[in-house]
């Protein structure tokens, strides 16, 4: 909402002076300076009245806070229809000069997202604003740049020497894949690419359930919960991912949102965790970790993780912000959990505050990894991966697969199936 602040208009003239000011004694000559000052006072009173009417009776902004409240107005709006003028400006045109632009940029750098270090943020952005002040054309780009700057301020974890740590052995191979003509035909029919191609899809949960001769890959509690949740058969991405993940391979999965990719990694994670010894509260960290770019996605993943990990007696915790503060999350994490769903920066913060550790993490998922890269999380994710044992199993999910995604996937994954 834009309030009319009564800016001085050069088109104002003495004609706007009320008629009562004109009914002076004709034979008496009025002092020019006094007449000019009277006209200014009358114009101010008229403008103030108009402001009150336009504001719907809410009153104007507090005078003492006016400079701060309107400091963001000196950012030009983008040009409309390719015209050379900025029709959305809120300041007089004569103030648009180099000095004003520099002051505008400096003022913008003072706005810091809650929880950030304002002084360090201003120090970091001052250099960028001086060198790259012309590269931002609208407020949206400025805010996005600020968000990226905040992400890069998160100090990564210190790299640890895994050779000095003796890890317990664990199993990550629960299913032996096949390579048949039927599997090849299925992939061709559904336009699925799998490299290498020796992983036939799992088309029904019965293939993973217990039979008279074997225990089955899925524990009985998991099969029952899947049925109670209304899932009759795996989706396309689930069919192919289950085969790859349960075979113990790292995987680079490209799938669209809404294809069922969340359960494609949640179910193998449950099998993976169920095969390991129970965690020791106050000592062990999680076994499975899911990293997401946003709090909203973390909440969505957490709902599925909570449902299916609880069926085998485990616990999942969301560590991505919200109503819980650092103290509450630290206290909850120390009670013990098998799965943590978090954004990279938040997880780093919890590890630094000794709320949890990554010593027992053997199953790691990077959900919407391409988006995390776009948001500037590459260094944070790399530091997390460097603190997780090298023989872990890692699933890398991305909606796109460009050169940058391929580059980081090669450094984060070990011989991944694509």
Identify the weakest region by mean pLDDT among 105-119, 158-172, 287-301: 105-119
Q: What is the pLDDT of residue 350?
A: 95
Please determine, for residue 295, whether its predicted confidence score (pLDDT) is greater than 50: yes
List pLDDT tens digits, range 196-245. 988 999 999 999 998 755 678 999 999 999 999 999 999 999 999 999 99
List pLDDT tens digits, range 312-339. 999 999 998 666 788 899 999 999 999 9
- Residue 144 confidence class, pLDDT cut points 50, 70, 90: low
**Using a CB cutoff of 8 Å and minimum separation of 24, what contacts does 125-133 make?**
125/149, 129/105, 133/101, 133/102, 133/105
Give the whole-angstrom CA distance, residue 32 versus residue 38: 10
Please determine, for residue 152, whether its predicted confidence score (pLDDT) is greater than 50: no
Q: What is the pLDDT of residue 98?
A: 46
Q: What is the pLDDT of residue 92?
A: 40
Closest by CA to 93, choosing from 8, 14, 12, 13, is 8
- Residue 58 confidence class, pLDDT cut points 50, 70, 90: very low
What's the mean pLDDT when you consider all of the chain?
76
Closest by CA to 412, choosing from 389, 391, 387, 394, is 394
Please determine, for residue 370, whether its predicted confidence score (pLDDT) is greater than 70: yes
Domain 162-412 - what CATH class? alpha beta
Q: Can you list the alpha helix ranges (DSSP code H) found in 70-219?
A: 98-108, 118-132, 139-152, 181-189
- Residue 3 confidence class, pLDDT cut points 50, 70, 90: very low
User: Dihedral, CA atoms, 156, 160, 162, 166, nearest 10 degrees?
Assistant: -110
Give the whole-angstrom CA distance, residue 115 versus residue 147: 12
- Residue 173 confidence class, pLDDT cut points 50, 70, 90: very high
What is the domain partition of the chain in residue ranges? 14-60, 65-152, 162-412
Q: What is the pLDDT of residue 43?
A: 57
Identify the weakest region by mean pLDDT among 19-28, 84-93, 162-171, 183-192: 84-93
Q: pTM of the prediction?
A: 0.65
Closest by CA to 246, choosing from 275, 225, 212, 220, is 275
Q: What is the pLDDT of residue 400?
A: 86
**What sign does the CA torsion over 229, 317, 372, 243 have?**
negative
Q: What is the pLDDT of residue 378?
A: 93
Give the whole-angstrom CA distance, residue 290 versus residue 298: 8
- Residue 77 confidence class, pLDDT cut points 50, 70, 90: very low
């Amino acid at each position: 909402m834009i309030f009319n602040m009564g800016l001085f208009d050069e088109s104002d003239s003495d004609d706007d002076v009320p008629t009562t000011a004109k009914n002076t004694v004709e034979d008496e000559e009025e002092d020019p300076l006094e007449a000019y000052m009277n006209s200014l006072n009358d114009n101010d009173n008229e403008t103030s009245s108009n402001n009150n009417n336009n504001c719907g009776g809410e009153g104007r902004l507090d005078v003492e806070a006016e400079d701060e409240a309107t400091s963001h107005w000196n950012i030009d709006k983008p040009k409309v229809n390719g015209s050379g003028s900025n029709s959305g400006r809120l300041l007089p045109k004569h103030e648009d000069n180099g000095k004003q632009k520099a002051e505008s940029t400096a003022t913008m750098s003072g706005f810091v997202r809650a929880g950030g270090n304002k002084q360090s943020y201003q120090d970091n952005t001052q250099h960028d604003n001086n060198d790259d002040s012309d590269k931002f054309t609208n407020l949206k780009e400025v805010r996005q740049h600020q968000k990226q700057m905040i992400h890069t301020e998160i100090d990564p974890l210190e790299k640890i020497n895994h050779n000095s740590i003796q890890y317990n052995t664990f199993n990550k191979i629960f299913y032996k894949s096949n390579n048949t003509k039927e599997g090849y035909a299925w992939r061709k029919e559904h336009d699925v690419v799998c490299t290498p191609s020796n992983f036939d899809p799992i088309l029904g949960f019965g293939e993973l359930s217990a039979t008279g001769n074997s225990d089955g890959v899925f524990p009985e509690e998991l099969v029952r919960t899947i049925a109670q949740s209304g899932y009759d058969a795996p989706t396309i991405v689930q069919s192919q991912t289950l085969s790859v993940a349960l075979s113990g391979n790292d995987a680079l999965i490209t799938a669209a949102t809404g294809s069922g990719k969340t359960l494609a990694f949640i179910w193998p994670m449950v099998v993976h965790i169920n095969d390991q010894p129970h965690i020791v509260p106050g000592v062990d960290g999680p076994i499975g970790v899911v990293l997401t770019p946003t709090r909203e996605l973390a909440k969505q993943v957490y709902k599925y993780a909570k449902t299916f990990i609880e069926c085998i007696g485990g616990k999942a915790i969301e560590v991505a912000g919200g109503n819980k503060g650092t103290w509450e999350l630290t206290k909850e994490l120390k009670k013990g959990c098998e799965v943590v769903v978090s954004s990279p920066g938040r997880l780093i913060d919890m590890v630094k505050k000794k709320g949890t550790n990554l010593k027992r993490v053997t199953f790691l998922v990077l959900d919407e990894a391409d988006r995390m890269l776009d948001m500037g999380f590459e260094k944070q994710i790399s530091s997390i991966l460097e603190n997780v044992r090298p023989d872990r199993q890692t699933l890398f999910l991305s909606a796109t697969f460009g050169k940058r995604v391929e580059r980081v996937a090669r450094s984060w994954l070990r011989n991944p199936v694509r």
